[in-house]
Amino acid sequence: MAFKGKVRAAWWLKKHHVRLLFGLALFSAALGTSATAATAGRHLRYAFAVYSTTDVTTHAGSNLSGPGTATMDVDFLGPGPRGGMLIRAEESWWHELRAEQAVTCEVDAGGSLTCDQYPVPSMAEFVLFPMLAQNYFNEISASKWQQHYTIALPANYYRFSTTVKLNVLRWSGPVADIETEGVTQAVGGPLERQIEHGSVKFDRSSALPIAIHEEWTPTMLDDTAPAAVDFKLVEQST
């Protein structure tokens, strides 16, 4: 669980200088269906792992179980004060007695996040939350498109801006394979950029990402290493 601790302490809890190193979990809206992920009352559970790409032994592989892995319970609470959807997530790490403190953010229809309350979200939560926006992937029928969104944290953190390119590689029945490439940088903060790339399997029947892999690499040398996150949807209910 050492890498999980590093994610929270080194990347999110620096009061005046956040190293925002997170992969952008990217998703699509259903092709030919009106279903959306952002439905009040919906509950999801994902298995996931966050790990250093320089030490692949720190994650459990495709089954996402065992040491170094966790589950995340996600609940859609209803409309937020800014017109988006309030989403609450609670992480439970393998072999830990208690779940992490629940985190709540507002996600607007285009994927922008407002997470202005403590606790600050973890790496994995920032990977997953944008993908649950109502309209983020409305342009999926074009096969290739670009998306831009922002992330707001509590007042003593920087804001962040993300631009991502998406490319639908193939459809297999109801599931689309999507390639993602993105860049995140602080707004009005240090001249740092985060380069991200990954893949998503999106199920159009549920309008949900069912598998995610994202890798991210800092563009400045510091105490953080290239890292990745893997997700797998294991349960859903309304």
Across all residues in the chain, what is the average pLDDT? 80
**Per mean pLDDT, which range of 31-40, 60-69, 152-161, 208-217 is the poorest?**
31-40
pLDDT value for 29 = 31
Tokens, residue 73: 């319970």
Q: Give the Cα separation of 200 and 168 in Å (integer).
A: 9
**Residues 40, 78 contacting (CB under 8 angstroms):** yes
Neighbours of 193 (CB within 10 A): 15
pLDDT value for 136 = 77
Which of 127 and 70 is assigned the larger pLDDT? Answer: 70
Instruction: State the SS3 of the chain.
Output: CHHHHHHHHHHHCCCCCCCCCCCCCCCCCCCCCCCCCCCCCCEEEEEEEEEECCCHHHCCCCCCCCCCEEEEEEEEEEECCCCCEEEEEEEEECCCCCCCCCEEEEECCCCCEECCCCCCCCHHHHHHHHHHCCCCCCCHHHCEEEEEEEEECCCCCCEEEEEEEEEEEEEECCEEEEEEEEEEEEECCCCCEEEEEEEEEEECCCCEEEEEEEEEEECCCCCCCCEEEEEEEEEEEC
Domain boundaries, the chain: 2-237
Q: Give the Cα separation of 224 and 10 in Å (integer).
A: 8
Q: Give the Cα separation of 84 and 20 in Å (integer).
A: 23
Amino acid (one-letter) located at 52: S
Highest mean pLDDT among 188-192, 220-224, 230-234: 230-234
pLDDT value for 17 = 32
- The CA dihedral of 83, 92, 46, 23, to the nearest 10 degrees, is 70
**Residues 118, 137 contacting (CB under 8 angstroms):** no
Give residue 163's pLDDT band: very low, low, confident or very high (50, 70, 90): very high
pLDDT value for 24 = 32
Q: Strand pairing partners for 36?
A: none
- Structure confidence by residue, pLDDT tens digits, 83-138: 999 999 999 999 899 999 999 999 999 999 999 999 999 888 988 999 899 887 77
Average of pLDDT values for 180-189?
Answer: 88
**Residues 174, 202 contacting (CB under 8 angstroms):** no
Q: Give the Cα separation of 25 and 211 in Å (integer).
A: 10
Question: Is the pLDDT confidence value at 167 over 50?
Answer: yes
pLDDT value for 58 = 55
- Structure confidence by residue, pLDDT tens digits, 4-55: 533 433 333 333 333 333 333 333 333 333 346 778 899 999 999 998 887 6
Question: Is the pLDDT confidence value at 80 over 80?
Answer: yes
pLDDT value for 128 = 92
**Residues 212, 234 contacting (CB under 8 angstroms):** no
Tokens, residue 222: 């510091």
Which of 88 and 57 is assigned the larger pLDDT? Answer: 88
